[in-house]
Amino acid sequence: MTCKHRFIIVLSVVVAALLPVFCSYAGQDLERLDPWAFESPKRPGAVFPHDDHMMFLDDDCSICHHVYENGELVPGDSSEDLYCIDCHSLKPVPDNPMPLEAAYHNLCRDCHFDRGTGPVLCGECHVKE
């Protein structure tokens, strides 16, 4: 084995070991949402294949991770470094009139409804674990 070959093998091992770190940073291992932000959740966390949604939606992060300025949507700008609750509080406030539960339901359910695909019934998203 030449030195060059050995270098390539070591490099591949390092890259393979780091891959899960990059992937989890991209949110890709998310399969079900954890309702931690709600004070006393009544339902099991919603099933949400995050990775598949990136594919369904042509990698447009800003559809869900949006940014608003003075109440106006900033097209193309995205906020995946923030949680929904960072902007949508549990109770409506003047700064953001849409509370967290409505924000999730309006985003998820409305898109499925409008496109005629994806779950729209309670038990289809809040699937028992």
- CA–CA distance from 110 to each of 15, 22, 98 (Å)? 39, 31, 15
- Contact between residue 94 and residue 86 where contact means Cβ atoms under 8 Å apart: no
Is 121 a residue that touches ligand HEC (CB under 6 A)?
yes
- Among 13, 23, 31, 106, which residue interacts with ligand HEC (rule: CB under 6 A)? 106
DSSP assignment, residue 72?
E
Supply φ then ψ for residue 27, to 5 degrees: 80, 10
Q: Which stretch binds ligand HEC (CB under 6 A): 6-14, 15-23, 92-100?
A: 92-100
- Report helix, strand or coil for 93: strand
Interface residues toward ligand HEC, by CB under 6 A: 25-27, 30, 33, 35, 38, 41-43, 45-50, 52-54, 56-57, 59, 61, 63-68, 71, 79-80, 82-88, 96-98, 101, 103-109, 111-112, 115, 117-122, 124-126
